[in-house]
Chains A and B, each alone.
Chain A
Amino acid sequence: MTRLLAAPEAELVFAALLLTLLAGLVLALLAARSVLTCILLMSVFSLTMALWLMVMDAPDVAFTEASVGAGVSTMILLGAALSSTDVIPSVRPGRFWFPAVACLAAFIGMALALSDLPVFGDPGSPPSSYVGRLYLEHTPHDIGAPNVVTAVLASYRGFDTLGETSVILAAGVGVLLLLGGSLNSRDPVSEDVSLRISAGSPVLSVAARLLIPIICLYAFYVLAHGEFGAGGGFQAGVILAAALILHALVFGVRETMRALPVGVVRSCAALGVLGYASIGFIAILHGGRFLDYDALLSPVFEAGLPSSHLAGGHHHWGQRLGILGIETGVMLAVASTMTAIFYAFAGRVSRSDEAGAA
């Protein structure tokens, strides 16, 4: 990964500017009295945060922050804001003191703990000296993936990532239960005006028709490219969900629900996690441990594949298959959960429209 900036002085100035901008955005968020303003400020905050993470040489995290924080969650929050009032009520003076004291105490605690953290980029710090170095040294031999982040996330710590994917599914189920998950594709959905931009505009429909396939293709590129550079299942899933949300914004949620019914989306969210876990069980059935991708293919078969590491080559076919398989599961779970949450908010809006019209 090449450095974003050449000179260290320029990097320092840029970092200082970004951090000042982040602090300013937080103050603006505190002062904002409108929900829409808050949502847009949070989107800008996420984008600035992604830039900052890029300066910190963490492109994988920056990518996630940009796609999740600035992209999809903004859309979902906007969908939620439509079924709420826009003005934030001001806090009464009597209720001000306890949160203020609690926040101040937490801030002082963190400021005190800050002195115990290692300096940024310190090679002698605990994360860089034992575990991190071990991963960096062993990844080319064990996994063969050029992107060590993916090797750690998908292979060494595959079990943790399975937990994260399950958390996403559980969060989606929770949101659907809160919003009244009884909406299924057979329910009539009214033509929602609020979430649809400029209904019937030819400019938008042409742009969307051109963009949606490209965005989907890009999602699959990000999925497959995660082994080599920044990317992976989480980002790919969010990008895929963004394409579906774009379709819903331009053509109306009803059209999207016709193309991709609610039931299918919800089943796919569960299927993604199931697929991930079953790759772990296939490894067990082949005599390995849970999520041990080296056991996915039989050694005789794997040695016969072109330039396999078992025959002195550099391709770890079992690992590549396993990583791609679980990343696909993650993508399916993330994209479906995001879409299901968006459907739930959009369906809520259109149902309230229906009630208002009736």
Chain B
Amino acid sequence: MLEAIAWIGSAFIIAAVGLSIAGAVGVLRFPDVYTRIHAASITDTGAASLMTLGMLLMAGLSPAAIKLCIVWLFIMLTSPAAAHALAGAAFGSGHRPILGDPRRPSEDET
């Protein structure tokens, strides 16, 4: 039983790794600041949550589980706020999102 739960935890962690790789590819490949922030914040929240869930299942009922929950709460509080601050700073310093089809650059794009 415990073995099976640990395996499910590993599956969650592998899913988190996949999401992290997707986020990293997104940061490198997406066209403008805002879509890149979107990709990075998926890694920050989604992948981190899946990873915490996986580690929770592997830790079982222990003091480590409580610490993991606190870490998860901290991440869920800070990462979206940091992404928000980043997007706000980008908008404040004059970056405008690319609108429309990015493969056909219009006159909006600088």
Report yes or no: B85 in contact with A201, Cβ–Cβ below 8 A. Answer: yes
Q: How far is the CA of A204 from the CA of B84 in the complex (A)?
A: 8
Report yes or no: B77 in contact with A198, Cβ–Cβ below 8 A. Answer: no
Report yes or no: A197 in contact with B89, Cβ–Cβ below 8 A. Answer: yes
In the complex, whether B78 has a CB less than 8 A from a CB of chain A is yes
Report yes or no: A207 in contact with B81, Cβ–Cβ below 8 A. Answer: yes
In the complex, whether B100 has a CB less than 8 A from a CB of chain A is no
In the complex, whether B88 has a CB less than 8 A from a CB of chain A is yes
Question: A198 touches which one: B74, B80, B92 (CB < 8 A)?
Answer: B92
In the complex, whether A203 has a CB less than 8 A from a CB of chain B is yes
Report yes or no: B77 in contact with A204, Cβ–Cβ below 8 A. Answer: no
In the complex, whether A311 has a CB less than 8 A from a CB of chain B is no
- Residues of A with C-beta under 8 A to B85: 197-198, 201, 204
Interface size class of A (residues with CB under 8 A): under 10
- Report how many residues on chain B are interfacial, defined by Cβ distance under 8 Å: 10
Report yes or no: B77 in contact with A201, Cβ–Cβ below 8 A. Answer: no
- Residues of A with C-beta under 8 A to B89: 197-198
In the complex, whether A211 has a CB less than 8 A from a CB of chain B is yes
Contact with B along A211-228 (1 / 0, CB 8 A): 100100000000000000
Nearest B residue to A246 by beta-carbon distance?
B78
Do A211 and B84 contact each other (CB < 8 Å), given the known contacts A198-B89, A198-B92?
no
Q: How far is the CA of A203 from the CA of B79 in the complex (A)?
A: 12
Report yes or no: A207 in contact with B77, Cβ–Cβ below 8 A. Answer: yes
Q: How far is the CA of A197 from the CA of B89 in the complex (A)?
A: 6
* Chain A: minimal CB distance from B58 (Å): 12
In the complex, whether A27 has a CB less than 8 A from a CB of chain B is no
Q: Which of A117-149 contact B (CB under 8 A)?
A: none
- Residues of A with C-beta under 8 A to B80: 203
Contact with A along B75-104 (1 / 0, CB 8 A): 001101100110011001000000000000
**A residues lining the B interface (CB < 8 Å):** 197-198, 201, 203-204, 207, 210-211, 214
Not counting A201-B84, A201-B88, A204-B85, a sample of 15 additional A-B residue pairs whose C-beta atoms are within 8 angstroms of each other reads: A197-B88, A197-B89, A198-B84, A198-B85, A198-B89, A198-B92, A203-B81, A204-B88, A207-B77, A207-B78, A207-B81, A210-B77, A211-B77, A211-B78, A214-B74
**B residues lining the A interface (CB < 8 Å):** 74, 77-78, 80-81, 84-85, 88-89, 92
What are the nearest 8 A-B pairs in CB distance? Answer: A198-B88, A207-B81, A197-B85, A203-B84, A198-B85, A197-B89, A204-B85, A201-B88
Q: List 16 A-B contacts (CB under 8 A).
A: A197-B85, A197-B88, A198-B85, A198-B88, A198-B92, A201-B84, A201-B88, A203-B80, A203-B81, A203-B84, A204-B81, A204-B84, A204-B88, A207-B78, A210-B77, A211-B77
